[in-house]
Amino acid sequence: MEAENLKELLVEELKDLYSAENQLVKALPKMAKAATSPELKKGFETHLEETRGHVARIEEMCKILEESPKGTKCKAMEGLVAEGKEIIDEHDDPETLDAGLICAAQKVEHYEIASYGTVRTWAELLDLKDVVELIDETLQEEKATNDKLTEVAEAINVSAMAE
Ligand code: FE
Ligand code: FE
């Protein structure tokens, strides 16, 4: 593959991620509001702040690449957010709702981790060091969020079982 084509793919994927992150900025407050565990609520609020930073980092990357981050809709994130909304609409029991919300949130984090992991590799191949650094900062936050969700889930799943 020519470097030019790889760069084109990188830009496309960054646009997709930009749409995904912006959708999350809208979805996370709803998930925080729906969560009943204070720890989970706090987790979503913290990640909302981080997610705003992810949006800003993609803007920065696109500035380096002299491209616009806009113009794409991430359909995968649209689906993941819709599934999260279904969980909120369909469950009233607090622990069950929280366990379902964690499931939805972890699917989102895994999607982001896969996408950022890939664009990082491409940016490395293209020798775009500043872009790699920015991607890496976000990727670390996505991984930490996923780990935190696993930790919170351990306690919540036990409570959900007791219902
Ligand atoms: Fe993110
Ligand atoms: Fe995230």
Distance (angstroms) between ligand 2 centre and the Cα of 47 equals: 7
Dihedrals φ, ψ of 58, to 5°? Answer: -65, -40
Distance (angstroms) between ligand 1 centre and the Cα of 130 equals: 18
| Whole-prediction pTM | 0.95
3-state SS class at 126: coil
Domain locations along the chain: 3-162
Number of residues that this document lists for the chain: 163
Q: Minimum-distance ligand to the CA of 74?
A: 1
Distance (angstroms) between ligand 1 centre and the Cα of 49 equals: 10
- What is the predicted pLDDT for the residue at 163? 64
3-162 topology per CATH: Ferritin (1.20.1260)
- What is the predicted pLDDT for the residue at 25? 98
Distant-in-sequence, close-in-space partners of 157: CB < 8 Å, separation ≥ 6: 99
Q: Minimum-distance ligand to the CA of 57?
A: 1
Q: pLDDT 10s per residue in the chain (163 long)?
A: 788 999 999 999 999 999 999 999 999 999 999 999 999 999 999 999 999 999 999 999 999 999 999 999 999 999 999 999 999 999 999 999 999 999 999 999 999 999 999 999 999 999 999 999 999 999 999 999 999 999 999 988 887 787 6
Distance (angstroms) between ligand 1 centre and the Cα of 33 equals: 19
| Residue closest to 51 by CA, chosen among 71, 72, 73, 32 | 32
CB distance 25 to 55 below 8 Å: yes
